[in-house]
Amino acid sequence: MSAGLELRNLTHRYTQGSSAALSQLSVEVNPQELVAFLGPSGCGKTTALRIIAGLLRPTSGDVLVDGVSVLAVPPEKRGAAMVFQNPLLFPHMSVAANIGFGLRMRNVRRDQIERRIATALRQVRMEGFEDRRPDELSGGQQQRVALARALVTEPRLLLLDEPLSALDASLRDEMRELVREVQKQGGYTTVFVTHDQEEAVVLADRIALLFDGKLQMYDEPQAFYDRPASRRIAEFFGATNFIRGRVRNGAAETRLGRLNIAGVAPSGDVTLTIRPEAVRLEEGENSFPARITRVTYLGTRISCRLDANGLNLRVAVPPDARVHEGKKVTARLPTESLWALRD
C-alpha cells in the first residue's frame, strides 16, 4: 500500500523571474521510509512538500510515485495525506466526523467508516473523544486528531509539515514518539518537514538537508555528524571545532602542527572538523599542548573550552574527568574522527 517516492530535478519559482524557491531537487524515498526535509525557514522544504501533495505545480521537474509521474493527478487522487503545522480541524464537525471525512469523500460504507474511525482513534490514543468538538480539545489533542484524520485514509504517502512545532516542548517529545510508532506500525512512506535538526535526527531514517532551495546532503542522520559535506552543514548540526589547514602528502599543516588525516584528501586548502566528544585529553598521534579556558558541568558530561596556539576548541569529557580552568593539558585529535571539509 505504501509507495516509493521520487522527486526528479524539482524546481519552483513563485513568480516568473524570481529566484528559485526550490532548485533541481532530486530525492528518492523508499517504501515505508521516513525522510525528513530539514532546513532553516525559507529553504524550500515546505514548497517541496506542497508539490508532492499536488497543492502546487512545480515550474519544472517531476514527482513519481511507484515510478509513475503524478504531476497531472489532482491532490485528492494522489493518496498523499498531509498534516499541517496547525491542526486545521474542520470547526463545524465533531472529532469522529473530522476523522471520517476522507472516507466519506471516498464513499466508503458507513459501518466500515465507523470501524476505521475507532481504529484511528486508538492509534493516536484518543479513545472516547469521538463526540467532542475541535474547540474543546487542547492543541496536542487536536494535532493527534489531525494525524488520525490523515492515517485513516490509508495514504500511499504521509506528508507532515512541521506538525509538532506549534506544540510545547514536553508534548512535542511525546508526539514525536507517537509519530514514529504509528509510522513504523503502519509502514507509511513519510516525508516530514522540519527546521529542528534534533527532531530530524530522532525521527528520520534519512535526512534531506536543504539550504536556499538546494539539496545539500541526503544521508542517514549519523552521517551529518560524522561526515558533513560542508562547513555550513557541520555548523547547522552544531559543530564548533574548525581547523583550517593545507594538505600535503596526506597530512594537514595547521596551527596545531602537522595532523595526520584518514583517507586521501586532495592537496590544497582544507577545513578539518571534529566532534567535541571525539577529542581526547592524552598523548599520542596528532597531539599538541593546550590550556583549558572554561569548564561547564553539564551533568552527564563536562564541556571544556581549550586554547591551543590561539585556536579555540570545544571538548566534551566524562563527568569524572579531573579538569579545571587554567589547567595545561595535552589534547589529541584521533585520525579516524577528523573530517576534512571541502570549501
**Residues contributing to the site for another protein (CB under 8 A):** 53-55, 74-82, 84, 86, 88, 90-92, 101-102, 105-106, 135, 149-150, 153, 159
Q: Which is nearer to another protein, 74 or 266 (CB)?
A: 74
CB of 85 to another protein, least distance (A): 9
Torsion of CA 160, 166, 171, 173, to 10 degrees: 50
- Provide the CA 317 distance to its chain's centre, in angstroms: 27
CB of 82 to another protein, least distance (A): 4
CB of 53 to another protein, least distance (A): 5
CB of 157 to another protein, least distance (A): 10
Q: What are phi and psi of 333, to 5 degrees?
A: -110, 100
CB of 65 to another protein, least distance (A): 14
Give, as one character, the DSSP assignment of residue 58.
-
Which amino acid is located at 19 in the chain? S
Q: Strand, helix or coil at 315? A: strand
The Cα-based distances of 24 to 12, 59, 310 in angstroms read 9, 10, 42
CB of 127 to another protein, least distance (A): 22
Q: Which is nearer to another protein, 54 or 58 (CB)?
A: 54
Residues 6+ apart with CB under 8 A from 170: none
Q: Which is nearer to another protein, 158 or 340 (CB)?
A: 158
Closest CA to 289 of 328, 338, 325: 328
Is 166 buried (19+), middle (13-18) or exposed (0-12) by CB count in 10 A? middle
Taken in order 190, 193, 199, 201, the sign of the CA dihedral is: positive
Q: Which is nearer to another protein, 37 or 224 (CB)?
A: 37
Which amino acid is located at 328 in the chain? K
Residues 6+ apart with CB under 8 A from 98: 89, 90, 134, 145, 149
CB of 35 to another protein, least distance (A): 18
Whole-angstrom distance, CA of residue 301 vs CA of residue 319: 5
Q: Which is nearer to another protein, 64 or 73 (CB)?
A: 73
Which amino acid is located at 202 in the chain? V
Residues 6+ apart with CB under 8 A from 294: 304, 305, 325
Q: Which is nearer to another protein, 124 or 239 (CB)?
A: 124
CB of 52 to another protein, least distance (A): 10
